[in-house]
Structures are given as C-alpha cells and as structure tokens.
Chains A and B, each alone.
Chain A
Amino acid sequence: MRTSLPDGSVEFVIASDLNEARNLQEMIERQLRQCHYEDKEVFGIRLALEEAIVNAIKHGNGLDHRKKVQVRYRILPDRFDVSVTDEGPGYNPNAIPDPLADENLESPSGRGIFLMRHYMTEVTVHPPGNRLTMCKVRKKAHLHAEVCR
C-alpha cells in the first residue's frame, strides 16, 4: 500500500515478505539514481535499507506474513530520510555485542546496525525499539532538485 504524504514523503506498508522488501528497495534505488545520487551513496543507502527492512521482517515480525512493515522515505537533493517500523516488541540496540571485538569477529550475525551506522549519517532506534529512523546527508547538494519532486 502506497501513500504520499504532505511533506513529500512516501509511505509503503508491506507484508513481512523478503520478496516485497527486495522490490521496494529496488524501487527506492531507481529513484535515488533518478535524483542523481552517486553510485557509492546508492550502495550505502541500499545496504542500510536492506539491513533495516530485513531486521524488521525477521527479528521484529518473526517472518510472520500477517504482520506488516511500514517504510516511509523522502528523497531530497541534499538528503535521504527513511523510517522503518515493524509490529514486534522492539529491541535494545545497545545490547548487541560489538561486532569488531576480537571475540565477536567470527560471529555470523550482529553486524546489521553497525553497517547502517557506518553508511548513514544518523541512525536512531526509537523505544521500545520497533521503529528506526535514519538519514543520509549528502556532502554536496545536487542541482537537479526538480527531478526529486
């Protein structure tokens, strides 16, 4: 389900389905490219989106197709904002072990939030932990503002 909001954001509500998540990410990626985001920026945003939405589907909603994930985003020439909300009980991001610690280096999981924080300018997990917002502020605003509207 797609909803356009007055502030220029677009909201999608998808089932907890990895295929739907993939389609949504690919659509956002295409829109970023239309707005002349550079390859490196698109790579980082897509990676952060993948981690956030997959976390919501798998860990938040437990892969339960009846539960929804809400993704709201806005693409501007100078920044990209997104929020991802699931129907789960939430989690404490501070409780996730440091993936760079020697004892965790060989752990097969636990790098999602770390990668989001690396590639995005700001990442916030809102209590109780089932809503995440993040933004990517671009170093130089692009001139093609009209394309993003």
Chain B
Amino acid sequence: MSTPPRRRRLEVEDSGEITIVNFIDRKILDEQNIQKIGEDLFSLVEELGRKKVLLNFSNVEYLSSAALGKFITLNKKVQAVGGKLVMCNINDDIFEVFEITKLNKLFNIQKDEQTALQTF
C-alpha cells in the first residue's frame, strides 16, 4: 500500500548552494499548521543536508509564538552543521513580533531576497 502524498506546504528552490524556502497556501503560521511546517523545515537540514537556508516571508501574513519556536530550533540545527539561516521579506506587523521578542538580534533578517542572497 502506497503512502498518500504529503500536502505541500513549502516551495523550495535552489540558488547555487542556497536553499530558498517560500511558504505556500499556508499564509498563517499558527499552532494548527506550524508543527508540520516545522517538520518539513527540519528535514531540509537533517535529511536533505541543506546548510544555507533562506526563508522568504513574502506570503506570510501572520504568525504566533509557536512559529518563533520552530525558527529558533531550525536556526540551531543549521548552525550545528556549520550552515546559515537568513530571513527576508518580513512585513511590518511580523517584524514587530521579532523586534519585541528581541529575536531580530538572534536571526539574520534582510529586507529582500536579493540582499539576503548576498549575505551567504
């Protein structure tokens, strides 16, 4: 019996050694769906061996603290393999969440994808 295909939550493309991740059809990173998205993100590093990861937030309209937790864990996993995690295209409301939690100091956040790609 074949395993049913997993619902696609991330759009992943490669730019050289850099893996660019866009969030698709899940614009809301709340508790309901962040668990699965977290698993998909972690597998990029743990199973597929990606070390340079760029998260593009252009489709993300909303997130909660559970999503922040996943990004922190992803950051640790990337650093553990000597890689780098960068984020870009974060809208003002969501950037405020990073700012008030001081996570803007923990994460490498860039304005747009072009700028972000140059930081790797």
Q: Which residues of A contact B (CB under 8 A)?
A: 18-19, 21-22, 39-40, 43, 46-47, 50-51, 54, 58, 99-100, 105-109, 111-112, 114-115, 118
Interface string of B65-85 (1 = CB under 8 A from A): 110111011011000000000
Asked whether A19 and B32 contact (CB < 8 A) given A106-B76, A111-B101, the answer is: yes
Assess whether B117 is interfacial by the CB under 8 Å rule. Answer: no
Assess whether B64 is interfacial by the CB under 8 Å rule. Answer: yes
CB-nearest residue of chain B to A22: B32
Q: Which residues of B contact A (CB under 8 A)?
A: 30-32, 62, 64-66, 68-70, 72-73, 75-76, 93, 97, 100-103, 105-106
From A40, A99, A109, A111, residue with most partner B Cβ within 10 Å: A111
Q: Which residues of A contact B106 (CB under 8 A)?
A: 105-106
Instruction: Find A43's partner among B31, B68, B93 (CB 8 Å cutoff).
Output: B93
Q: Which residues of B contact A114 (CB under 8 A)?
A: 101
The distance in angstroms between the C-alpha atoms of A114 and B64, with both chains bound, is 12
The distance in angstroms between the C-alpha atoms of A21 and B31, with both chains bound, is 10
CB-nearest residue of chain B to A57: B31
Asked whether A115 and B103 contact (CB < 8 A) given A22-B30, A108-B73, the answer is: no
Q: Which residues of A contact B100 (CB under 8 A)?
A: 115, 118
Instruction: Find B64's partner among A54, A100, A118 (CB 8 Å cutoff).
Output: A54
**Do residues B101 and A99 form an inter-chain contact, with CB atoms below 8 A?**
yes
**Do residues A115 and B97 form an inter-chain contact, with CB atoms below 8 A?**
yes
Q: Which residues of B contact A106 (CB under 8 A)?
A: 72, 75-76, 106
13 contacts between A and B (CB under 8 A): A18-B32, A19-B32, A40-B93, A50-B64, A51-B64, A106-B76, A106-B106, A108-B68, A108-B70, A109-B65, A111-B68, A115-B101, A118-B100
Q: Which residues of A contact B101 (CB under 8 A)?
A: 99-100, 111, 114-115
